[in-house]
Structure 1
Amino acid sequence: MKKIGCLLIHGFGGSVYEVSPLAEYLERKGYGVICPALKGHTGRKEDLRGITYHDWLDSAEMALMELLESHDYIFLIGFSMGGLIAINLASKYNVSGLITINTPIYYWDFKRIYLNIVHDLRNKEYTNIHRYMKSSGNTTLSALFHFKLLLTRTKPIIRNVKCPLFVTQALDDDTVRKQSARYIHERMSGKRKKLRFYDHGGHLILRSSSASKVMEDIWTFINEIE
């Protein structure tokens, strides 16, 4: 029986925490899964200093090499900025499929951020406010600069991706605007591509009430390709 390997790539300033529910789900399905920690993403702001987007690409590529050694089918799954990295790898290697989750082309939905803050204040929950404060304190200006460079580099590469594609996007994501999903889906040149929006889930959709549906859809996509 041929072996399926999945490379899960977390987002900018984040960690494997963002994708671990999906990793555990796919492992239960019998797939080989690797979730590399991108260089500098230790949770400490100072560790991002001097790190470039090339380092992030290298972190993911090294993990891909490990999967390629022992698996017949490889699926690249990128969350947020991890989707940009996955697009770069899919344009370079012959993989079985590419899945992007809330991957940015157009970022920061300021209307949604405002509504989230109002919701927190009215309900005295402060969940979103704490998340925004934590996010702003976990990165550096140089890291933000290299995120932008990675985005700029990736946009023209999308057309080079010819493997099957599944683009997923939460409509209430405050970090990535829904137009990003359409941009990726429309510009990818392969014939087998799928786009799915979810009404709820926010940016950390794999940690939301929509996670089970997203994971099931990803598993279905992999099985259809396999």
Structure 2
Amino acid sequence: MENSKVGCIVIHGFGGNIYEVEPLAEYLVNKGFEVSCPQLKGHTGNRQDMKKATYEDWISSAEEELLRLKEKTNDIAIIGFSMGGLIGVNLACKHDIKALVTINTPIYYWNLKRVLLNLLEDIKNRKADNLQRYMRARKNSPIPAMHNFLLLLNQTKPLLCKVKCNALITQAKDDDTVRIRSVDYLSEHLSSEHKEIKYYSNGGHQILRSQSADNVISDVTAFLDSLRN
């Protein structure tokens, strides 16, 4: 059925869950968007589930929600956080999409300099916040899952040129997981006629749960609002 609303599918990242993108999703709902947040297959918090799921499963999980959303509205925007942006590219190549938004999406990953600075910050503050986060990430990233992430990345890069919808690329400058030059690669290879780039000085990888969240949400919403005009 047709609907005047813009539908937004908001896709979380590798080893994560809906919590990562919840602030943005809730804000968009309150602003009148039709929003769907799929939980990617294997992303249950159980290491064995993560080991069994393939990157094709992750894409299918998001595609199922996309098809459900298409029953409610014809105008769809895909918002992908981290690896969710790679999944978004795959879906944008296959379906008629109004726009693609990437948030800290990796082409080049692990900023080791930033990791070291974060660990030094732990020592300075006599805390272990960053160390604990890295340990959790390691626990949630079994080798088969990491292999599938790399397969997804390698499959997605050649598809970027097939994306022609409007695109917004957002990136935290202090992201320890995604190197900032990923933005240049995305911008150069996406075939979108209209592309915007937004950088944020602070926020780290989990930017939607950071002090910069409001700025990111405001920029994404403004970009999506422009689609309704």
Q: TM-score, normalised by structure 1?
A: 0.98
Partner Cα separation in structure 2 for residue 211 and residue 175 of structure 1: 17
- Sequence identity (%): 50
Which secondary structure state, in structure 2, belongs to the residue aligned with residue 209 of structure 1? coil
1:170-216: per-residue Cα shift (whole Å, max 9, x none)?
00000000111111111111211111111000000000000000000
- C-alpha displacement of 1:50: 2.2
Aligned pairs for 1:24-43 (under 5 A) are 24-43=26-45
Partner Cα separation in structure 1 for residue 224 and residue 94 of structure 2: 20
Partner Cα separation in structure 2 for residue 43 and residue 221 of structure 1: 32
- C-alpha displacement of 1:124: 1.3
Counterpart of 1:149 in structure 2 is 151
Aligned equivalent of 1:192, options 184, 191, 194? 194
Runs of 4+ in structure 1 over 2 Å off? none
1:1-55: per-residue Cα shift (whole Å, max 9, x none)?
7111100000000000100000001001011111110000001111112211000
1:153-185: per-residue Cα shift (whole Å, max 9, x none)?
000100000000000000000000011111111
RMSD: 0.8
1:129-171: per-residue Cα shift (whole Å, max 9, x none)?
1100111011210000000000000001000000000000000
Amino acid at match of 2:199: F
Counterpart of 1:97 in structure 2 is 99
Q: How many residues align?
A: 226
Partner Cα separation in structure 1 for residue 30 and residue 16 of structure 2: 24
Aligned equivalent of 1:22, options 21, 24, 37? 24
Counterpart of 1:74 in structure 2 is 76
Counterpart of 2:141 in structure 1 is 139
Aligned equivalent of 1:168, options 167, 170, 174? 170
Partner Cα separation in structure 2 for residue 68 and residue 5 of structure 1: 8
Which secondary structure state, in structure 1, belongs to the residue aligned with residue 101 of structure 2? strand
Partner Cα separation in structure 1 for residue 135 and residue 23 of structure 2: 24
Q: Does 1:126 align with 2:111?
A: no
Aligned pairs for 1:37-76 (under 5 A) are 37-76=39-78
Counterpart of 1:117 in structure 2 is 119
Counterpart of 1:6 in structure 2 is 8
Structure 1 spans left out of the alignment, 5+ residues: none
Q: Does 1:225 align with 2:223?
A: no
Structure 2 spans left out of the alignment, 5+ residues: none
Partner Cα separation in structure 1 for residue 192 and residue 8 of structure 2: 20
Partner Cα separation in structure 1 for residue 190 and residue 90 of structure 2: 12
